[in-house]
Amino acid sequence: MTTAEQLINAARELRNAAKEMSFSHPVAFVYNPLEYAWKSHSLYLERFGDSRKMVIFLGMNPGPWGMVQTGVPFGEIDAVKNWLGIEAPVEKPAAQHPKRPVTGFQCQRSEVSGKRLWGLFKERFAHPENFFYDHFVANYCPLAFIEESGRNRTPDKLKPNERRLLFQVCDLHLAQVIQTLEPEWVIGVGRFTHQCILRVLENADTSTHLHTKVQAASILHPSPASPAANRDWAGTVTQQLINLKIWS
């Protein structure tokens, strides 16, 4: 079985496990793009997850104008269509918040985090094949949570029992991704995912690749909600990766 096939199987298991979960107030809507945007997500894995990697970048969960629309991690429309070369039919979630409609690749909004992340990789590597030769981008949690007001609710803000069950399946999936791609580094895009990576590595069986050979670190999250990210995010992250000796 190829690495891409292993990733697709793991994503299918994650999709199905997440589908069985329920979440209470203040979560009013739950979007699972691994269901309704499966075609583009599986195409991303098939095209770019076809080899072992040196570095995995790990995001938290789908953003409303990124992966929620395209099924691709940090999936800002322009980057996914015109740099990654991915565009596929996107269905609709079973229930949608009127302020957070899923229009797929017709979405007119741009997700700043995805624009910054993929923009940096495009600037540095020029072509996606160069980047994905030994890099990969994944998300920790496949679900997007929306409150009645339309506000995004991040996974770390869920109720403790809901968070525990969700994180169990997300940890398992992350472990599968790491075992499949055998990276030297897993980089949390932000502090939350860095902690998730450390937990997965700490709990790994001592006989696995995860336990002995994988290093964890974090980079500044590109969200515009972060004042630091609005001051030359690309330059800051490039320097962080140089300091880690991941980039030269």
CATH for the stretch 3-242: 3.40.470.10
What pLDDT does residue 116 have?
A: 98
Among 82-91, 200-209, 231-240, the minimum mean pLDDT is found in 200-209
Average pLDDT over every residue of 119-133 = 98
What 3-state class would DSSP assign to 75? coil
Cα separation, 215 vs 15, in Å, equals 27
Q: What is the mean pLDDT of the chain?
A: 96
Enumerate residues 6+ apart whose C-beta is below 8 A from 87: 40, 80, 81, 105
What pLDDT does residue 132 have?
A: 98
pTM above 0.85, yes or no: yes
Q: Where are the domains of the chain?
A: 3-242
Q: Tell me the pLDDT tens digit for each residue of 128-157.
A: 999 999 999 999 999 999 999 999 999 999
HSE-up of residue 46 (Cα within 13 Å, Cβ side) = 8
What is residue 228's DSSP assignment?
A: G
Asked if 88 and 41 count as a contact pair (C-beta separation under 8 A), the reply is: no
3-state secondary structure 109-169: CCCHHHHHHHHHHHHHHCCHHHHHCCEEEEECCCCEEEECCCCEECHHHCCHHHHHHHHHH
What pLDDT does residue 188 have?
A: 98
Report the percentage of the chain scoring pLDDT > 90: 96
What pLDDT does residue 1 have?
A: 93
Q: Tell me the pLDDT tens digit for each residue of 69-109.
A: 999 999 999 999 999 999 999 999 999 999 999 999 999 99
pLDDT above 90 for 163? yes
Asked if 246 and 185 count as a contact pair (C-beta separation under 8 A), the reply is: yes
Phi, psi of 215 (to 5 degrees): -105, 145
Average pLDDT over every residue of 26-30 = 98
What pLDDT does residue 213 have?
A: 84
Asked if 73 and 203 count as a contact pair (C-beta separation under 8 A), the reply is: no
Q: What is the pLDDT confidence band of residue 204, given thresholds at 50, 70 and 90?
A: confident
